[in-house]
Amino acid sequence: MAAAVVAEGVEAGLDFDWSDVEPVPQNDGPRPVVPIAYTDDFREAMDRFRAILAKDERSPRALKLTGDVIALNPANYTVWHFRRLVLEALSSNLLEELEFVNANAEGNHKNYQIWHHRRWVVQKLGKDAVYQELEFTEGALADDPKNYHAWSHRQWLLQELDDWSWELDYCSTLLKIDSANNSAWNQRFFVITKCPSLGGLHQMRDSEVRYCTDAIKQVPANESSWRYLKGLFLDDQSALVKDPLVSETCISEIVKDSYNVPALGFLLDLVSAGFQPTAEQSEMLQKILPTWVTPSELASALCTLLETVDPIRCQYWAWRRSLLPLAVTVSET
């Protein structure tokens, strides 16, 4: 399909009279080391584009030519920039331009220039186009749930529209499909920290802890949900240590599966931050880690266990253990 678009674009450019334009060949110097074998169509289009760029010609034929060149190389940022200048000069129909972008987005879903141009078009069209764009990003994310460009575009749209009412539900839907979708977890964090009407991380923490611990219970070894849980307390480690639902969830999952690496690592973070298990929790943990009495010893025992059950990162856990005496002693005092 892309080849057909290229061929049609170059042929269509012949509808305009170019006899007054002297092509400007690419200057690779007298002895290029590795000359690129451009096709004849590409060389002709670029030679012509360089000529109109030098003249700063903002005309219908210039607009058509930028489309030809983009069809040949959608990553050419200079052409995209010049196309925007021409669109503005001609007061072009930007709804038609959005269709042009849609056509060029096929097969180029991770092209920076296309997404940047798309944002420019939507900004010019105003809020009426934002809802349509949200639907477009949903389609793009259905094809590739971790498309960074689509997520970035969607975040910009939400802030531009200033309407976030459905976004947490959208994230929940994606996480039901794939609880390890880090991009959906990241979007959820973006919403609770950036949406003005939600009140910020402090206001949303309790409900998000409940949501996250429920997700952990469904897929206990999913590192994504454990990291999200930790992220909810980035601004307040003391609240992390004091939250009973957090520690209860962590310890209960370790009791169920002593090889649960994310849970073990999370408990290590808790202990390092000053958490001390209750008598009941200590009794439960000593069935798995029987050689500890103090929190310092518990942290060391966790590192030793993690070196065994997570051999790929054994050196990391050994490094964590080397930091424990100072970190844990300070928190105990």
Question: How distant is the alpha carbon of residue 49 from its chain centre?
Answer: 34
The residue from 55, 64, 110, 124 that is catalytic is: 110
CA 14: distance to chain centroid?
41
- Is 287 a known active-site residue? no
So which residues are the catalytic ones?
Answer: 110
